[in-house]
Structure 1
Amino acid sequence: MLARLQQMLVLGWLAALVAAAVLPWRAGCPGWSVVAVLLVVCAHAFWLLVTFALMHWHNRHDPAPRASWALWWRAWWGEVRCAPQVFGWRQPFASQAEPDFIPVDARGRAGVVLVHGFVCNRGLWTPWLTRLRQAGVPFVAVNLEPVFGSIDDYPPLIEAAVARVEAATGERPVLVAHSMGGLAARAWMDRYAADDRVRRVITVGSPHHGTWLAKLSQLGQNTREMRPGSAWLQALAAREPASRRERFFCLYGHGDNIVFPASNALLAGAGKLHVEGTAHIDMINHPAAIAALWQALGRAGPADGF
């Protein structure tokens, strides 16, 4: 469903680009054609500037390390380059480019379950999936649907993925979750009492205490559940034993333009790492993210990102 929706959005953007180029030109205003094309091409960059301004304002009293202007702009530019790759190609047109990898000789090798976030699909993880396949690491990447449903709809999908990896490997998997996926992973652990079924849960920019930006969205039940102080977040936290947090490792950052204030991506009692100068989607490309996975798997891996 999400792939089709994003395909239509991409095609609509291409149609707007053509119209921006052709209509002023036919009207005898070639200079305005250039301006209109630039506006269409750069629209996402302008929207990102808005989210970065909101992030900067709401992080001003947050205990996370403050971002310098150089780091702020580095994060923005990284997201400007990264977001079109994810939302313009990988997710709408190539989400199945790397199918799940469960080799016949997987027994005894710890695997990975990858859980994406809001308005994403498994295509988000394509560079990770390629790297994992090359390293011989079994994996399953889920698609969380319904896209705009409750986060409580997602635990059975994660359970099915974990069960596949468990059955094939005989080992507990590592869960890697981006953004809302971290809340879905917590909801799965809560529903299935799955504390002893995972080696580690690595969350990357997950709104464990909600995000201010969710207050602006009415897209679905899941956005309402991600508002700071929501009844859903409070009920989940109240049910979780303190010992569960020890299985989590949270990557967060002062450049996260979607989950802010920045410290809302942390869980008390969990491991944590602050990632500098990196925005929300681009955080999955940071070397620290893949390094955390190799460590959780007990493997030596390359230190570079994607």
Structure 2
Amino acid sequence: MNGRLQRIWVVLRLALALAVGWCAGWAWGLLTLLLQGAVLACGFVQLRWVNRPAPSWGQLLRAWAGEVVASELAFSWRQPWREWAEPDHLPVGAEAGVLLVHGFACNRGRWNGWMGRLRAQGVAFVAPSLEPAFGSIDAYADEIEAGVQRLKAVTGRMPVLCAHSMGGLALRAWWRRHGAGHPAPHAITLGSPHQGTRMAALGFGVNAAQMRQGSDWLAGLPGLPDVDCFWTPCDQVVNPAETAILAGSRAHRVDGVGHMGLVHADEAWHCLQTALAGSSLSTPRRI
């Protein structure tokens, strides 16, 4: 569903830019197309007053520039048009696996960059597109469980669980429902609103309401037993910044990147590589 909505959005943006360009001149049409970047800038400016200590203007500028690119790549190309460009990869004999869980208003195309690199390494992976798009986060638990089971069937061990944004909460909802049947997984969350986020008040749908700070649903959600939390003081979606840190986790600060940019951060990829090395060696393979 998100892919279809994003295709409509891309077409509407292009149509509006062409209409403005035809009527008022092509320079104005180009500015109309770039308006999304100006809207993004507002989200970064407010972080100077929301986060303490506040990120510098230089960090915010660098994060905004990267976020414009990352957002266009995700919402104008990969998610609307390339959702299944990288199918799930379950090679026979794979030693380790990764489950990739996207965030709010996204789909599995969010992970195309990581999926291509994992395929080249021979690592098994599954990346579901969570539905319903604006339903309860609890509804995603069974889809995640299905992915975990597919990966365990191939590798004989628990996969590493990687989640961006809302996907980190979906992992916790999955752990509440299905955790009793599994050993403790290694999870990596990137910009997940573990303590809620101010910006959820601007969203719509049941899942947006669940992500609001102080929500009853969030208060009843369990933690994860083994998790690395990546966060950034330049996160225009999950803020205040500390809300991306789950109690008891290993917290990793990444400067100068925005919310979408965390998926492109080298630090996060290197953490996954370390986790994969550990998962392939520490647990005997079951045939």
TM-score range with shorter-chain normalisation?
over 0.9
2:256 to 277, 280, 291: 277
CA distance, structure 1, for counterparts of residue 184 and residue 29 of structure 2: 49
1:116 to 102, 118, 122: 102
- Kept after mapping to 1: 8 A contact 2:118/2:124: yes
Greater shift after overlay, 15-24 or 113-122?
15-24
Counterpart in 1 of 2:9? 9
Letter in 2 for 1:22: W
Runs of 4+ in structure 1 off by over 3 angstroms are 194-199
CA distance, structure 2, for counterparts of residue 84 and residue 91 of structure 1: 10
| Unaligned residue ranges in structure 1 (runs of 5+) | 25-29, 300-306
- Kept after mapping to 1: 8 A contact 2:47/2:54: no
CA distance, structure 2, for counterparts of residue 83 and residue 216 of structure 1: 18
CA distance, structure 2, for counterparts of residue 115 and residue 55 of structure 1: 26
1:55 corresponds to 2:43: no
1:163 corresponds to 2:163: no
Displacement of 1:39 in angstroms is 2.8
1:295 to 274, 279, 282: 274
Counterpart in 1 of 2:210? 225
Displacement of 1:196 in angstroms is 4.1
CA distance, structure 2, for counterparts of residue 16 and residue 211 of structure 1: 32
Cα-Cα RMSD: 1.6
Which secondary structure state, in structure 1, belongs to the residue aligned with residue 237 of structure 2?
coil
Letter in 1 for 2:191: G
CA distance, structure 2, for counterparts of residue 45 and residue 5 of structure 1: 20
1:186 to 162, 172, 178: 172
Counterpart in 2 of 1:304? none
Superposed counterparts of 1:9-158, under 5 Å: 9-24=9-24, 30=25, 33-34=26-27, 36-59=28-51, 62=52, 66-106=54-94, 109-158=95-144
| Unaligned residue ranges in structure 2 (runs of 5+) | 279-287
Per-residue deviation, residues 35-63 of structure 1 (Å, max 9, x unmatched) = x213312211111011112333211xx4x
Letter in 1 for 2:211: M
CA distance, structure 2, for counterparts of residue 78 and residue 66 of structure 1: 19
Identity of aligned residues (%): 45
- Kept after mapping to 2: 8 A contact 1:188/1:194: no
Count of residues in Structure 1 that have an aligned counterpart in Structure 2:
279
Letter in 2 for 1:188: W
Could you say if the C-alpha distance between residues 269 and 178 of structure 1 is closer, same or farther in structure 2, counting changes exceeding 3 Å?
A: same
CA distance, structure 1, for counterparts of residue 48 and residue 189 of structure 2: 22
Per-residue deviation, residues 210-261 of structure 1 (Å, max 9, x unmatched) = 11011122x200000000010110111xxx3xxx544011000101110000
Displacement of 1:198 in angstroms is 4.7
Displacement of 1:87 in angstroms is 0.2
Which secondary structure state, in structure 2, belongs to the residue aligned with residue 139 of structure 1?
strand
Per-residue deviation, residues 145-181 of structure 1 (Å, max 9, x unmatched) = 1000010110000000000000111011000000000
- Kept after mapping to 2: 8 A contact 1:189/1:195: no
Using structure 2 for the length normalisation, give the TM-score: 0.93
